[in-house]
Structure 1
């Protein structure tokens, strides 16, 4: 396995584009922006993979089931 996973490289490339597109403007809330862009589609994908089973999805994600439920509500995922 390489020293950087593909996902990390994709995030790095996206951030490079983000900062380039700012064209001198100051960045704002980058952490929240990245989490919002990644977390929702990741949870949606895992929920589909787990067949909608929250316990199984929480296990796959390495989250407490209650934490997953909060995130499902936060992102309006059923």
Structure 2
């Protein structure tokens, strides 16, 4: 299994468990919830990988550096 397939599979398993755990409740804003759950740790790991180099982290993430900084501020990472 390639790395991106592993990530995809992990998300699929987590989402299947999420829906099983709802116990009859109706989910809302699932897309936004998943992005919020994934985005912060993604940014944290990429920043560690780049030893805090925000320019390089933004490049790896495919983001503008200012967008990365805005997200870092939103997640209290700066």
Structure 1 residue runs of 4+, over 3 Å off?
A: none
Q: String of CA shifts for 1:13-69, please: whole Å, max 9, x gaps.
A: 111111111112111111111111110001001011111111010011111111101
Instruction: Tell me the distance in 2 between the aligned counterparts of 1:68 and 1:12.
Output: 26
Structure 2 spans left out of the alignment, 5+ residues: none
Write the mapping of 1:1-78 to structure 2, written as runs, cut at 5 A.
5-78=5-78
Instruction: Tell me the distance in 2 between the aligned counterparts of 1:7 and 1:33.
Output: 17
Deviation at 1:70, TM superposition (A): 0.5
CA RMSD of aligned residues (A): 1.4
